[in-house]
Amino acid sequence: MENISEPYTISYPDITAVADKEGGTVELIETFDCAGGALWAGHHYRRSPLVREIRVVGRTQRFLLETGCVNLELVGSHFPAGISAVEVTDDEIGISYRGMGGGGVGASVCRATAHGVLRADADPSGGGREAGSRIWLPRRERVIIGVDDTDTPEEGATWTLAHNISRAMEDEATRYLSHTIVQLFPVPYRTKNCVGLACEFATSDADGLITRFAALLEKYTLSEDTGMAAFRDFDPAPLRPFGWSVKRGEVARDDLEAIRPLLDIRMEGRGIIGAAAAIPFATRYEEALLLCSGDG
């Protein structure tokens, strides 16, 4: 008969977090192994006063949080688990979880043993007990890299190259979070489908990440028109008007000047328009894939 070493524990494969520059807002990104447990937590955690929004992106669940500390009035079945504290220092982000019964197991040992956790204090859990944990994660910043025009009519595909480079970026300082294909307006000089790519990272070494990404892109691109731009901030919303304009019609190079101060541009071929336009659609998949007629 087979043995299970930890029959009542499921460790989260990875937990990471990014904070805004002021340290007042955090996005907690939990990679989950058990979808049922993760979605149960998301359903109940949204009742926590510190939680603004919860969404699932691929195999991750993301919690948009505000900093603070609250007492959770937990009630079995109705509000059995939640997030009770969010702390941000210069180098670390602290998250405190509380839960009852099985929710206490998830709130304690399951998260305390996740990859990415620097250290943790976890209560004994299981049965009908209330338990929790306080975990500390490296403070990281969000970087979104936009790429366009790496292929030719004969060979290549930008979406595969961008993904493979992004995978190569992962190390202890950098987590590769998401890959978004963004449909752009089909201009006459497109290769075929006219899409840009947005690759999202959580990192504590933004300069190194962007430089390494650019080096591999320069090495493997097949086009002389490649564009690459990086956005370093918590929320790319200021780029959305430009992004929508590129989805709705052909945009002149001069239109890029309005957003140039927000970007770290590393390759400025013709594809820079699509590269910059893709960035604000990172993880916004329905909008990203929308094909506009030009007047929509």
Q: How does pLDDT run along the chain (296 residues), one tens digit per residue?
A: 889 988 888 899 999 999 999 999 999 999 999 999 999 999 999 999 999 999 999 999 999 999 999 999 999 889 999 999 999 999 999 999 999 987 888 888 899 999 999 999 988 887 778 888 999 999 999 999 999 999 877 788 899 999 999 999 999 999 999 999 999 988 665 555 589 999 999 999 999 999 999 999 999 999 999 999 999 999 999 999 999 999 998 888 899 999 999 999 999 999 999 999 999 999 999 999 999 864 44
* 191-216 per-position pLDDT tens digit: 555 899 999 999 999 999 999 999 99
Domains, the chain, with CATH or none: 14-138 (no CATH), 141-289 (3.30.70.2200)
* 150: nearest Cα among 53, 270, 248: 270
pTM of the model: 0.94
The strand pair at 130-138 and 92-100 is best described as: antiparallel
3-state secondary structure of 274: helix
Phi, psi angle pair for 219, to nearest 5°: -70, -40
- Cα dist. 65→14, 69, 107, 200 in Å? 18, 11, 16, 19
Taking each helix axis from N to C terminus, what angle separates 158-168 and 206-220, rounded to the nearest 10 degrees? Answer: 140
Task: Quote the CA–CA distance of 102 and 81 in Å, as a whole number.
Answer: 9
Non-local CB neighbours of 231 within 8 Å, separated by 6+ positions: 143, 144, 145, 146, 239, 262, 263, 264, 279
3-state secondary structure of 173: coil
* 82-133 per-position pLDDT tens digit: 999 999 999 999 999 999 987 888 888 899 999 999 999 988 887 778 888 9
Task: Quote the CA–CA distance of 89 and 84 in Å, as a whole number.
Answer: 17
64 with 45: CB under 8 angstroms?
Answer: no
